Amino acid sequence: MQQPPFLVGAPVLLLLVVVSSCPLLASGAGDGAATYIVYLDPALKPSPYATHLHWHKAHLGSLSVDPSRHLLYSYTSAAPSAFAARLLPSHAAALRGHPAVASVHEDVLLPLHTTRSPLFLHLPPYDAPDADGASTDVIIGVLDTGVWPESPSFGDAGMGPVPSRWRGSCETNATDFPSSMCNRKLIGARAFFRGYGAGGSGNASRIGVEFSSPRDHDGHGTHTASTAAGAVVADAGLLGYAQGTARGMAPGARVAAYKVCWRQGCFSSDILAGMEKAIDDGVDVLSLSLGGGLFPLSRDPIAVGALAATRRGIVVACSAGNSGPGPSTLVNTAPWVITVGAGTLDRNFPAYAELGNGETHAGMSLYSGDGLGDDKFPLVYNKGIRAGSNASKLCMEGTLDAAAVKGKVVLCDRGGNSRVEKGLVVKQAGGVGMVLANTAQSGEEVVADSHLLPAVAVGAKSGDAIRRYVESDADAEVGLSFAGTALDVRPAPVVAAFSSRGPNRQVPQLLKPDVIGPGVNILAGWTGSVGPTGLTVDERRPPFNILSGTSMSCPHISGLAAFVKAANPDWSPSAIKSALMTTAYTVDNTGSPILDAAGGNSTATPWSIGAGHVDPVKALSPGLVYDASVDDYVAFLCSVGTSPQQVQAITAAPNVTCQRKLSSPGDLNYPSFSVVFGRRSSRSSVKYRRELTNVGGDGGSVYTVRVTGPSDIAVAVKPARLAFKAAGDKLRYTVTFKSATPRGPMDSAFGWLTWSDGGEHDVRSPISYTWGM
């Protein structure tokens, strides 16, 4: 894989290539062979050689080395003239004596300087032996706004042939996306727009504007696909921020892009068509950072398509939604999908608002322009063209009084319109800067944006203080400063305030979300069609962008599911989900319980974090898993009131009668527990059944259970000890929950059930308790 170039003295530009793990390179060069990088003086290239490649091959031929077998790379852009080859030490010595050879160096392994998510998740370096297992055989299908194929995140350098089982293609009829745009990394690209074209007035004409091809003119799809499985890209960043080496969660995996969303949204008919084609094409993982609305599972196109995918052994991950922090706001709650919430990384982009009263308030920004220098400027708030209207507090389009804001910094409240649009409104009105202040709804969660004017976003507490200042001082002023990128931020992770929450209104006995992953200020690939703000006036075109949302956390989990599947190819989708859930952690990098950005940084509960924050390395060896089959999901559907006819229609299961149904939806063999007590004392006891499968090795193992939670809820697990004799063994247990004290319908409580072998494995499940939902 390529590493960043290093200039060591003109005119020779060096590029280090790590190739020693490729099996092709181990053959034919004899004992003691190694990979060497040979740097030539381009000015000395003899004229008979038409290209540098011909010259490089001639050097190897002079050593009786077959270029077709041993020439790995030929460079003319990253280096004026260099090549990498598998050689003996004697070959290297001979080349060093050639007058046209500037230098010869043996290949070395350099550490990655990651753009943060892989390091924060403790993923091993991609070029470490067996670090990514067989991930080059794993295919991730991304249903989104398409893909920008020229993004460096979809480069296929060093990748082997596309898996022979792949049945998809780069199928387009548009001139802007010929099939040649696909390669060994981006192996499929399709677009689905019939539902969109028929979905409303003007949509058909808008398809012509956005192009009826898989090309991404929005950026969202390129960002999610590269987050899941982007290639390793050196010197990545956004306008000077978050500099480092970018990579997806499973950089060796293949990507197939299915464009089912357009700038106006995603039609369910297109979504389902995309899922069908992805299933037929042969993907292993499906990633959907989309969804909305509360539908019965039998009418939810994502749930229906995901169940069909699960039947074919495909893992499906979906975003929980960005409607937090209110309760019961999550979507994509089917038990056969991984429902993903969002948390922060240990990286942010500090910026400061320095008030005229001496207070300094810390915030965040991705502004990359000249700034305001060290001067302070007048600060104004609620300077609208209409007296008595609060719209100017939100800096809505057309609300600011240009005469009152010209040459000043404007304080804008978050909400109502996009954060970057507020900055544009201020700029167009003549303002020179913006302080974007959270309200109580967003709490202390601050999201960084690449604004078009100097702007600092601050949390609710700082926002309240700045509002008090500007409303009490007619001569209020502020200075704005920007401090770049900060790492090792504490505490982290923190649950994002926007991340949608439980409890699950559709099926209260099913705890959702399942897990959280990084979803705040995530750097990934970007489209060349729009700027980082997405605003039409933004003419910047960086190859990477920083976004936030459960749309960003979802592809993290999709990529990590591919990472786990590569190491355990025989595991079912439910086993992979179980492994990610039961090994998740609930303690941040300060050793304290993970906090929630909403509600003043209170302790997060399973309604916001599910089982916790994913730990992909631990998920490779969970010890035990809660497995479930499609037949189990059919029984679940029957237990939530889906008619036999509906079940048969969405599962293709023959002769469904719903004679086999679960005693309660909570009886599904799931890695978490949602206990719903009745309001009456006669319904204060709930009993669930579970089955665990040993995946911890061939030897026997013994697990004992422990339960933590409220003191007034008694929990009895039978048996309390499970002795597995061999890998693949399955053992069952029951757990009975009894509430000693009746509570109200708005009350909730939480706990944990953990099976431990006393050593490497703690199989941990969250428990939520409610009364009379």
Residues that are catalytic: 144, 220, 551
Judge contact between 555 and 523, C-beta under 8 A: no
Judge contact between 500 and 513, C-beta under 8 A: yes
* Cis-peptide, bond into residue 710, ω within 30° of zero: no
DSSP 47: T
Q: How far apart are CA 444 and CA 422, in angstroms?
A: 19
DSSP 2: B
Q: How far apart are CA 151 and CA 134, in angstroms?
A: 24
Dihedral sign computed on CA atoms, order 588, 695, 311, 650: negative
Q: Which helix (H) or strand (E) holds 228?
A: helix 220-229
DSSP 231: P
Judge contact between 612 and 585, C-beta under 8 A: yes
> Among candidates 228, 221, 218, which has minimal Cα distance to 190?
221
Q: How far apart are CA 517 and CA 123, in angstroms?
A: 13
DSSP 93-118: HHHHTSTTEEEEEE-------B-SHH
**405: helix, coil or strand?**
helix
DSSP 600-654: TTEEP-HHHHTT-B--HHHHT--SEE----HHHHHHHHHHTT--HHHHHHHH--T
Helices 630-639 and 301-311 pack at an angle, to 10 degrees, of 150
Judge contact between 536 and 96, C-beta under 8 A: no
Q: State both tokens at 550.
A: 């459960």
Q: State both tokens at 364.
A: 């965040």
Q: How far apart are CA 325 and CA 500, in angstroms?
A: 6
Dihedral sign computed on CA atoms, order 120, 122, 128, 132: negative
Judge contact between 25 and 65, C-beta under 8 A: no
Give the phi and the psi of residue 363 in degrees, each rounded to 5. Answer: -145, -150
Q: How far apart are CA 251 and CA 154, in angstroms?
A: 10
Q: How far apart are CA 433 and CA 380, in angstroms?
A: 11
Q: How far apart are CA 427 and CA 324, in angstroms?
A: 30
Q: How far apart are CA 724 and CA 730, in angstroms?
A: 8
Q: Which helix (H) or strand (E) holds 522?
A: strand 522-525
> Among candidates 67, 59, 66, which has minimal Cα distance to 96?
59
Cα dist from 672 to 507, 514, 582, 607, 667, whole Å: 13, 8, 9, 11, 11
Q: How far apart are CA 674 and CA 504, in angstroms?
A: 9
| Cβ neighbours around 539 below 10 Å, total | 9
Q: Is 548 exposed, middle or buried (0-12, 13-18, 19+ CB in 10 A)?
A: buried
Q: Which helix (H) or strand (E) holds 233?
A: strand 233-238
| Cβ neighbours around 633 below 10 Å, total | 22
